[in-house]
Structure 1
């Protein structure tokens, strides 16, 4: 299981990833990204919220990438500052391909910001991205400028009018992806972008927790409640949407509205584009908020707290030792299910209730909770919602200071999940590709529901050529097998990682499932011979008083005519200075020089080629006479010891 790795990662800053449109109309947006990057780095540098890794993925049309990754904030600044806006051609861009590269190249639980002012050309990747979001549990935020749909091209291209229907459909697609990840879709003017980014990146704390999140794709009046415990700090509410009214009631009963937002509970209220931000005093207890809107909106309540949870869907293991196995894809619809919930950040808090809550509705499914100890709980559900849902955990913070406080806490998963009557499974998990050679990946599709023709789609983040059946026919409750053939180009570097996603969609289009595989490119090993060391020179005239003299040697290391090349040369024995360089005009020859004191007369070099073949090369700087003198002295010493009375055996 991955809990240990995730828990260690939670105490470092979240990985930060920017996916940036670099077409001609994005000059203002890129300037804002450059400014906010410097601000983030300066604000978080040296703190526990400093991002553990920085990632940049540019995209335009038809290009996207390459992904650039670094742990050095100054290097990331140079990546960002090298961005420039140019070209663009037609209006739609390769946005989803860029996002796919980010989701596969960034660590899990990353915070991803997508910057664009255009619709996406590669809409066919939407379901693939949702699968990757579910797998990685990364949060994706869309920062959209030019919300009226007029895209400014470069001066030579003039201006173009976007299709209003296309604009609305793409806007909904961005909202769907953000909703699936627990992110937000912020629509602002280009002049407001810097302010909006600055607001959202303030919430990239390593201790950020979600108390409540809800999305409504149509206008709907609704009431929500959320509990705030004493461990929470920096309580903030985000509301995205146009023409959204709210009424907020704090635990003391004070009422606030979007018209009147002054009072004891609200520290500040800010509206930028379609994003309203409310910073609140952290009053412990139950809060209530009512939303009135005739258009789509989202509501998100966050804070900072050490108390949070991790979860995985599990099933009973069929192995000899029993226990549970983690389910890597979607849980099966129509049946019962189990979760493994791990509470982190407190040794005294306990989980009392776990609920599956519909992401876009008010339905929920309750559970029975079984404590395993050590902060782990097995949670059993009789059924799973038929629509997207999130996991809501409530519990008791037994470290509560105030007796007046109940100590009740609640936390919610950011990622929306869904069940499926389908199951896509693969035969192999660790697959190696040889450059230039096709490789077949076998998979199976099973259904517990309807039969018919199931649409298949396979994608990968490196753009490698794929061949797969466009559809498979399954009987109701049946299964079928298929293969995906993938070929890495002959010049693909060794070690290249590929994420392959295989998806099946039911005949009705309302249900789907996926398998995500990670492949590695490795050439076939034909080099079984170690490198060769050739002594070029050895200069030594070491006297008996070794402290006053030095010796040196020069060695040429090669890997033969058919070798893969020398990977490295290191020092196994010896305390001298080692210097390694490439021969001028010949990258296949490695030159090694070594200088040491005569008191350290022996040296061993370890030469390793590109496939791991090893050769140990031994040399000595001691002269023959000094070695003879040393040998005579050693023999004389041993003879003297043997003549001592205590060494005589009677």
Structure 2
């Protein structure tokens, strides 16, 4: 039997101790009793839940829920009017504030249990998602595979003099990282030529990847530019998120119109693009001249200081750009190795006219890297630590216009100083390897909830930055969050940080912000007991005037060979513009969408409809992401939508509850005398029953808490080729002539067998003319005092 994701979701309903799914309380069962009113809409609700070891939920009055059934719990709290109707009060534990949560005293315990249950759901070795799906699919689904090492290599004829050097450098890089902590998850090779783009090779086998690179041959081309942007697009779509992508070419881009789309994919996947050029071929036709003008127009939109489209992409993605020669390719191997750092951090990144720069070096840094680049040539650099001592450096790059150094190990903490031999405009980046870094999410209000935004924020609107400090300890404090301009020099805004600790111990903070600049970068500063620290996110935040909103209630799941349709609402918040739309997804899923273009006036919107078709060759679970985008001459934005391909047999959901049959019931406990008399413990009752399920194992537990004294309960599995059976027996004294048997399967389906022959205890003077009527499975006790009790034991086959 194959377990589906829907089935696995049901397994979230478990006890953390026994990993046994709890059944849901039947509709007719009373689950809550009245709480005590404390006035002002606040209730004391301790011990108001009437069921044990059964799942129940709280009703909250709304447009779709007008009433709550008799005996059922309310959600409760000042925002729930149903808490004033019997049973009054409620059960929610969302807050430690009594006016919001009737079970406020259980808030922390509930939070801890929720964390534990979540961990069990994902990684419990018996029933967790990891055990059910297997490591590879689990990691793929949650993006835990690591990163791809991807190479997009120009194989046109003009590369004939350089291709051998490219092969050697690529293979050496692979070998240097194969068996290290920084090793990639998989290796991808994308060939691009003219007029073709591809093929794509994807493998986890290092030897196979080396052989593929070694077998590359050059041909074709003819004119100057090549289809490098098509090659990069394929690389981005086939690679895992946060991948390292290297472009090797000696030519410009014939398809510069794909630049904006590639930037959106870079931003959506958080991947780095590193460009290594062995030249930039001269123009050979009027068409080439026009193409280069097109390329420059695209570049000017976000950064006008880069020399070509490759430097623009490297700058945009936080990657390296190097112009070198065939002979110099091996000299840039160190740059490539720096880029494969598994714990990269940025301390500062800036572009300014200067000759010195000071930066903090903290105790968490394993190594430090410094890159200095300028259009001016012939400069030299020195680095001094906080004591003024010259730091010993390892030179990675040393050309007339760029110098890159690596310092390892780091032997001194404090404020270091970089000194450059002459004053000029430099691009300086200081980074290193450290576990101490920060992540952030830009949050916005959506339907009463604060959720992460999709795509880029809109300029001028209010947002919240949710910040998390990783690799920190209790002695670390964040002092401020700073917004810097695109050059990393001017402070646009600075916010004091009031940090707190999350339930899992991480340092967090929420900061209300407004983005009033078209481009900005974020940095934090703080200190520990040993040193001060600074961290910067070098990837810029772009604000836009167009929004893309995922439509709710859509299904992104397909079977192999099947299809699904998704739509995204595009809203123009800026001036009237003509927008071009795109939907990108990896090659194993095809897509068609409409419209392709549309003029939108300010405030207008359009629905972008896309139909996806999964390849019939898919054999197992496949997780992918579709990137919807809209761009005009002045704005562009995107939204990511998850898509899954699930084999047909994995969609079969077990929704059948376990069944049972009572085989024997001996109940000699009828009447108040035998149940409440002194010798009730000398009389025994017992029941034997069989329970079964056709799809999964059956678990039977007792619902009465505490278990009566001297009670005995056991279940024994029965052999069967078609169904999973258990034979159970229970024995107790007549002092406790009742029991609930909770029956569950491992898909979370539940059933309840109730045996209840309790008689009320009355004063002797009132118990007269007692009539007992047994009819089938119903015991009716009628008393002259007009008290009538109907007790039923359920019998289901």
Q: How big is the shift at 1:121?
A: 2.1
The 5 Å alignment of 1:112-127 reads 112-127=245-260
Match of 2:451 in 1: 325
Cα contact 1:436–1:487 (8 A) shared by 2: no
SS of aligned partner of 1:331: coil
Task: Tell me the distance in 1 between the aligned counterparts of 2:635 and 2:196.
Answer: 31
Cα contact 2:147–2:241 (8 A) shared by 1: no
Backbone CA RMSD of aligned residues: 4.2
Match of 1:287 in 2: 416
TM-score normalised by the chain length of structure 2 = 0.55
Match of 2:482 in 1: 355
SS of aligned partner of 1:65: strand
Match of 1:315 in 2: 444
1:354-397 deviations in whole A, cap 9, x for unaligned?
22222225233212423231224233243225132222122223
SS of aligned partner of 1:31: helix
Cα contact 1:358–1:385 (8 A) shared by 2: no
SS of aligned partner of 2:241: coil
SS of aligned partner of 2:179: coil
Tell whether 2:559 aligns with 1:425: no
SS of aligned partner of 1:455: strand
Match of 2:463 in 1: 337
Q: Which of 639, 650, 662 is the equivalent residue of 1:515?
A: 639
SS of aligned partner of 1:61: coil
Cα contact 1:371–1:377 (8 A) shared by 2: yes
Tell whether 2:525 aligns with 1:394: yes
Task: Tell me the distance in 2 between the aligned counterparts of 1:184 and 1:209.
Answer: 15
The 5 Å alignment of 1:349-498 reads 349-360=476-487, 362-364=489-491, 365-373=493-501, 374-398=505-529, 400=530, 407-427=531-551, 430-432=555-557, 441-448=566-573, 450-461=574-585, 464=590, 466-476=592-602, 478-486=603-611, 488=613
Q: 1:70 to 1:234 in 2, by over 3 A?
A: same
Q: How big is the shift at 1:183?
A: 0.8
Match of 1:34 in 2: 167
Cα contact 1:134–1:416 (8 A) shared by 2: no
1:90-133 deviations in whole A, cap 9, x for unaligned?
33222122212222222222121111111112222222222222
**May I ask how many residue pairs the two structures share in their alignment?**
498
Cα contact 1:243–1:293 (8 A) shared by 2: no
1:183-209 deviations in whole A, cap 9, x for unaligned?
121111122112213433244121222
The 5 Å alignment of 1:204-243 reads 204-215=340-351, 220-221=353-354, 224-243=357-376
Cα contact 1:14–1:205 (8 A) shared by 2: no
Cα contact 1:187–1:274 (8 A) shared by 2: no
SS of aligned partner of 1:483: strand
**Structure exhibiting the larger radius of gyration computed from Cα positions:** 2
Q: 1:521 to 1:160 in 2, by over 3 A?
A: farther
Task: Tell me the distance in 1 between the aligned counterparts of 2:551 and 2:146.
Answer: 36
Q: How big is the shift at 1:270?
A: 3.9
Q: Structure 2: give runs of 5+ residues left out of the alignment.
A: 1-114, 116-121, 123-137, 300-306, 653-695, 697-718, 723-797
Task: Tell me the distance in 1 between the aligned counterparts of 2:357 and 2:209.
Answer: 40
Cα contact 2:373–2:401 (8 A) shared by 1: yes
Tell whether 2:312 aligns with 1:176: yes
Q: 1:383 to 1:86 in 2, by over 3 A?
A: same
SS of aligned partner of 1:107: coil
Task: Tell me the distance in 2 between the aligned counterparts of 1:104 and 1:228.
Answer: 37
Q: 1:487 to 1:328 in 2, by over 3 A?
A: closer
SS of aligned partner of 1:83: coil
Task: Tell me the distance in 2 between the aligned counterparts of 1:48 and 1:436.
Answer: 38
Q: Structure 1: give runs of 5+ residues left out of the alignment.
A: 152-158, 256-262, 401-406, 529-571, 573-601, 606-650
Task: Tell me the distance in 2 between the aligned counterparts of 1:467 and 1:110.
Answer: 27
The 5 Å alignment of 1:180-199 reads 180-199=316-335
Q: How big is the shift at 1:501?
A: 3.3
Match of 2:213 in 1: 80
Task: Tell me the distance in 2 between the aligned counterparts of 1:442 and 1:164.
Answer: 36
Q: Which of 409, 427, 438 is the equivalent residue of 1:298?
A: 427
Q: 1:44 to 1:318 in 2, by over 3 A?
A: same
SS of aligned partner of 1:481: strand
Q: 1:101 to 1:292 in 2, by over 3 A?
A: farther
Which of the two has greater strand per residue? 1
Cα contact 2:274–2:314 (8 A) shared by 1: yes
Tell whether 2:61 aligns with 1:61: no
Task: Tell me the distance in 2 between the aligned counterparts of 1:91 and 1:488.
Answer: 36
Q: How big is the shift at 1:329?
A: 0.9
Cα contact 2:578–2:599 (8 A) shared by 1: yes
Q: 1:435 to 1:51 in 2, by over 3 A?
A: closer
Task: Tell me the distance in 2 between the aligned counterparts of 1:456 and 1:342.
Answer: 36
Task: Tell me the distance in 2 between the aligned counterparts of 1:317 and 1:332.
Answer: 14
Cα contact 1:353–1:367 (8 A) shared by 2: yes
Match of 1:17 in 2: 150
Cα contact 1:12–1:52 (8 A) shared by 2: yes
1:602-637 deviations in whole A, cap 9, x for unaligned?
9999xxxxxxxxxxxxxxxxxxxxxxxxxxxxxxxx
1:319-370 deviations in whole A, cap 9, x for unaligned?
6xx5x42222112211332222222223233322222222225233212423
The 5 Å alignment of 1:128-277 reads 128-147=261-280, 149=282, 163=289, 166=292, 169=296, 171-215=307-351, 220-221=353-354, 224-244=357-377, 245=379, 250-252=384-386, 254=388, 263-268=390-395, 270-272=397-399, 274-277=401-404
Q: How big is the shift at 1:458?
A: 0.8
Cα contact 1:313–1:340 (8 A) shared by 2: yes
Task: Tell me the distance in 1 between the aligned counterparts of 2:143 and 2:550.
Answer: 31
1:223-275 deviations in whole A, cap 9, x for unaligned?
644211122133221233432546656344759xxxxxxx5454547414754
Task: Tell me the distance in 2 between the aligned counterparts of 1:87 and 1:141.
Answer: 25
Q: How big is the shift at 1:29?
A: 3.8
Q: 1:111 to 1:462 in 2, by over 3 A?
A: closer
TM-score normalised by the chain length of structure 1 = 0.66
Cα contact 1:186–1:273 (8 A) shared by 2: no
Match of 1:71 in 2: 204
Task: Tell me the distance in 1 between the aligned counterparts of 2:615 and 2:413.
Answer: 61
Cα contact 2:440–2:466 (8 A) shared by 1: yes
Q: 1:130 to 1:223 in 2, by over 3 A?
A: farther
Match of 1:92 in 2: 225
Task: Tell me the distance in 2 between the aligned counterparts of 1:24 and 1:316.
Answer: 54
Q: 1:124 to 1:491 in 2, by over 3 A?
A: farther
